Amino acid sequence: MEMTHVTHGFPPVFDEKSKILILGSMPSVKSREVSFYYGHPQNRFWRVLSAVLGEEIPPDIPAKREILLRRGVALWDVIAECDITGSSDSSIRNVVPNDLSLIISAAHISAIFTNGSAATSIYKKYQLPQTGIPSVPLPSTSPANAAWSLDRLIKAWSVIVR
């Protein structure tokens, strides 16, 4: 696979009632195809979030959006555009960060959580100086993070409801 320049391509999910913000790095190839977050069936994000929130796993994009908004969860990514090989976070280069003020100015965000080490490091470098809100790093829900079982991820991610 060769490196390509990719633009994020779909908007964040949030409203004025959003209280927490979960940030990924850049949507995977599959997520970009379906134009929504964590679209790869092997990504455990929706299983983890549903378990942590005590919700049924949402079957489609409208149901995913509804759970996020009803539960006060904003969802976006730290990267607006970058060079990337496939879906590999480790290949990311030439980052153009998203402007999180879009969400921060419209909602009362009390906590920011980053999904995986790439999102965490990019947030610290580009967005923390603007937001002033330290992020809470969480283990990646990506299938590439095979060292973490679903149960272990759910335990770590339960911090979002505390």
Domains, the chain, ranges and CATH? 3-153 (3.40.470.10)
User: In this structure, what token pair is assigned to residue 125?
Assistant: 């470098």
Mean pLDDT of the residues in the chain: 97
Which residue among the candidates 43, 94, 115, 145 is catalytic per the annotation? 43
> Can you give the pLDDT at residue 21?
98
- Mean pLDDT score, 47-68: 98
> Can you give the pLDDT at residue 17?
98
- Known catalytic membership, residue 43: yes
With beta carbons less than 8 A apart as the criterion, state whether 160 and 20 touch: yes
pTM tops 0.85: yes
Beta-carbon count within 10 A of 24 CB: 25
Dist. CA 80–CA 102, nearest whole Å: 13
> Can you give the pLDDT at residue 1?
81
- Digit-coded pLDDT (tens) for 97-146: 999 999 999 999 999 999 999 999 999 999 999 999 999 999 999 999 99
DSSP state of 111: E
- Mean pLDDT score, 18-26: 98
Q: Binning pLDDT at 50, 70 and 90, where does residue 69 land?
A: very high
- pLDDT surpassing 90 at residue 162: no
